[in-house]
Amino acid sequence: MRVVSDGSKHSISLLLVLVILLSSLAGCASIAGVGAAEPMAQMRVYPEEIEAGESITFDARESDPVEGVITKFRWDFGDLSSAETIVGFTSHRYSEWGIFVVTLTVVNDQGGEDTVSQQVRVNGAPVVMVEIPESVRAGDVVILDASSTYDPEGGELQFLWDLDWGKDSNGDGDARNDADSTNETAIIETNLSGNISGSLTVTDDRGSSAIEYWSIEVKTRRWAVEWSEKTVVYNWSGYLDQGDGWEAVHIPGNEGILFSVEAILELERDLIEPQDNFTLNIAVPTWPWYYEAKTEGGNITTNESATAEIERSALNPIPTGGEYSADSQENLLFQLLNAPDSRNGTGEWTWSIFANDADPDPPFELMPDPDPGNAWDLTATFVIMVPSIVELA
């Protein structure tokens, strides 16, 4: 009986020990997370597509802890950067273009975890490359070349050039939104020196745009000028009855600066004395200059004709050569020929001849006039200073 009694006591003691051990093991299992409830991760992304350099928002607030509460949100943005938050809301800026896999892991207070992933597309803006000539002079044709521009994703590109911010091509009041060209290359014809500024906007097939601003300095051209004398002769001839007149209008010296003029009116030699008497006039209203000369009888013994003469020298100072700056040869020539101290004689010259007397007259009223008029010849000789213009390299 003692043995049995002792055995029963030992059995009861072993049973109690087993119960305590099982309870302890059960507690350890609970601490280790065995059988813990896992949360359910959910993630929304907006906007679904962004441009490089922009921010995107991630929302995991609809994630379900299942049991307890969510204590951690671990974010892996797919670009070697990550973050951990206690709220299910964050944002991230992508500096590079590409497709990134964003992974979210949520952890609840039971030690359970759940993971969800989503793709994010970051569009790369076009890379704009514009080639501009290093040196531009007035009159040059400038080619702006953007053919090296590309889209990182290889998409099709659209080009929009505003070739001069100083001009409002479309008339909308904004000189910086014109569509002067839509090609890869654009052409600008320069006429004047100065600065030309503009822009190129390139848009890819996803609507992403990049703008390149540019400016061109248009320089003047350099010229060497030398002056030389040139003689220009005008000749008129005709016949005038007594009391009649003749007139001619012309512009001498358009190609240079007038220096001197000599005009000689010569009458046909009459066989009967006295020689006829004509008057020669010159008028230059823009100068102003008016001069009159009457013919004088020639020497009968040497068979000279009656003549009238007008002569004037040093109409303008003799110009000196040198180097000049101008946008074009035409502009420089205009500057040289219209210098303030070199404009004497510019404009129209009016020559006029009037037949005062044609002697002798008839002795009686009804008799024929033995000398009704006279033939004449007028020669005007101009000395003109003409510039020679050569462009310097």
Q: Which helix (H) or strand (E) holds 17?
A: helix 2-31
Q: Does 228 share its domain with 326?
A: yes
Provide the token pair at 217: 């300095």
Report if residue 128 sits inside a domain. Answer: no
**Residue 360 — φ and ψ, nearest 5°?**
-85, 160
- SS3 per residue for 118-151: EEEEEECCCECCCECCCCEECCCEEEEECCCCEC
Of 123, 146, 166, which residue constitutes the final position of a domain? 123
Nearest CA to 191 out of 153, 226, 220, 223 is that of: 220
Task: Flag whether 278 is in a domain.
Answer: yes
Give residue-wise pLDDT tens across range 221-269: 999 999 999 999 999 999 999 999 999 999 998 889 999 999 999 999 8
Residue 206, domain member (yes or no):
yes
Q: Are 34 and 77 in contact (CB under 8 A)?
A: no
Give yes or no for a contact between 92 and 55, defined as CB atoms under 8 angstroms apart. Answer: yes
What's the number of domains the chain is made of? 3
- Does residue 313 sit in helix, strand or coil? coil
Domain boundary among 204, 219, 234: 219
Q: Tell me the DSSP string of 231-267.
A: EEEEEEEEEEETT-EEEEEE---TTSEEEEEEEEEEE
In a shared domain, residues 99 and 67: yes
Compute the radius of gyration of the chain from its Cα atoms.
52
Same domain, residue pair 273 and 384: yes
104 and 57 in a single domain? The answer is yes
- Tell me: do 237 and 102 sit in the same domain: no
The answer as to whether 11 is a domain residue is no
Q: Are residues 72 and 200 located together in one domain of the fold?
A: no
Give percent above pLDDT 90 in the chain. Answer: 79
In 3D space, the residue among 179, 220, 40, 51 whose CA is nearest the CA of residue 120 turns out to be 51
Per-residue pLDDT tens digits for 149-190: 999 999 999 999 999 999 999 999 999 999 999 999 999 999
Model confidence pLDDT, tens digit, residues 342-384: 999 999 999 999 999 887 777 777 777 778 889 999 999 999 9
Residue 297: pLDDT band with limits 50, 70, 90: confident
Six-digit token pair at 313? 């020298």
Does 331 have pLDDT greater than 80? yes
Same domain, 256 and 329: yes
Do 231 and 331 have their domain in common?
A: yes
Secondary structure (DSSP) of 371-386: --EEEEEEEEEEEEEE
Structural domain includes residue 208 = yes
State yes or no: cis peptide before 360, omega within 30 of 0: yes
- The range of the structural domain enclosing residue 325 comes to 224-391
Mean local confidence (pLDDT), 113-139: 95
pLDDT surpasses 50 at 2: no
Find tokens 């996803």 and name the residue.
Answer: 206
The residue among 161 and 275 whose pLDDT is bigger is 161
Residue 162 sits in a domain of what CATH number? 2.60.40.10
Phi, psi for residue 333 in degrees, rounded to 5: -60, -40
As a whole-number percent, the residues of the chain with pLDDT over 70 amount to 89
CATH code for the domain in which residue 375 is found: 2.60.120.380
Judge whether 18 lies within some domain.
no
When pLDDT is cut at 50, 70 and 90, the band that residue 10 belongs to is very low
Q: What is the pTM of this model?
A: 0.66
Residue 13 has pLDDT above 60, yes or no: no
Band of pLDDT at residue 12, cut at 50, 70 and 90: very low
Q: How high is the pLDDT of residue 7?
A: 43
In a domain, 129, yes or no: no
CA angle 225, 229, 235 (to 5 degrees): 135
Rounded to 5 degrees, what angle do the CA atoms 336, 338, 343 make? 120
Specify the length of the chain in residues.
393
Residue 223 CA: distances (Å) to CA of 83, 143, 324, 325, 336: 69, 25, 5, 6, 12
DSSP codes of every residue in 68-118: S-EEEEEEE-SSS-EEEESSSEEEEE--S-EEEEEEEEEEETTS-EEEEEE
Residue 11 has pLDDT above 50, yes or no: no
Q: Is the peptide bond before 65 cis (omega within 30 degrees of 0)?
A: no
Q: Identify the pLDDT of residue 298.
A: 61
For 56-69, what is each residue's pLDDT tens digit?
Answer: 999 999 999 999 99
Q: Is the residue at 27 inside a domain?
A: no
Same domain, yes or no, for 305 and 233?
A: yes
b or e along 315-346 (b: 16 or more beta carbons within 10 Å of the residue's beta carbon)? bbeebeeeebebbbeebbbeebbeeeebbbbb
Report the pLDDT value the prediction gives residue 365, as an integer from 0 to 100: 74
Q: Which amino acid is at 376?
A: W
Give yes or no: residues 276 and 346 share one domain: yes
Report the distance separating Cα 82 and Cα 393, nearest Å.
62
Answer yes or no: do 255 and 212 share one domain.
no
Answer with the one of 166, 194, 219 that is the final residue of a domain.
Answer: 219
Indicate whether 22 pLDDT > 60. no
Same domain, 335 and 283: yes
SS3 content of the chain, % helix, strand, coil (to 5): 10, 45, 40
